[in-house]
Structure 1
């Protein structure tokens, strides 16, 4: 999954949702990662990204349309590495 996070295009459309029911963030993978980076811990636990293109997950037969918080954190790490 890490390779997928490293190769996912920043301009790919995506939607960040909150399991608590707050308004979604509709934008790009980069927009979602930037917002996630400033979330408080509870908000990070509730956040998910809905993709417009599914990604492969190791050990699964099917691809997924949803990124979990730990996967979003990998995108944030990539963003920080590219900015600095």
Structure 2
């Protein structure tokens, strides 16, 4: 899992694509768009969601940067969005 500080550094307006491992139509928008949609998903859909980044991010324990956010990381973005809204 990615450190929260790395996720906090991803700007809300960065282009991203939410993909679904079951083949549903991708959501092309911003990181904020992806987090907002993820917040509405049911648990099964959340477990199949991934966000494809347009700029890779550093992931601790790996030598290379990564292009994909896992469901736990998307959930952290959703929590960040809620905190910033209050």
TM-score by structure 2 length?
Answer: 0.96
Q: C-alpha displacement at 1:13, in angstroms?
A: 0.1
SS in 1 for 2:52: strand
- What's the RMSD between the two structures over aligned residues? 0.5
TM-score, normalised with respect to structure 1: 0.98
Q: Secondary structure at the match of 1:51?
A: strand
Count, aligned residues: 84
In structure 2, C-alpha distance between the alignment counterparts of 1:74 and 1:12, rounded to whole Å: 16
Q: Which runs of 4+ in 1 moved over 3 A?
A: none
Identify the residue that residue 20 of structure 1 maps to in structure 2. 22
Structure 1 residue 6: Cα displacement: 1.1
In the TM superposition, what is the alpha-carbon distance from 1:4 to its structure 2 partner?
1.1
Alpha-carbon separation, structure 2, partners of 1:66 and 1:21:
16
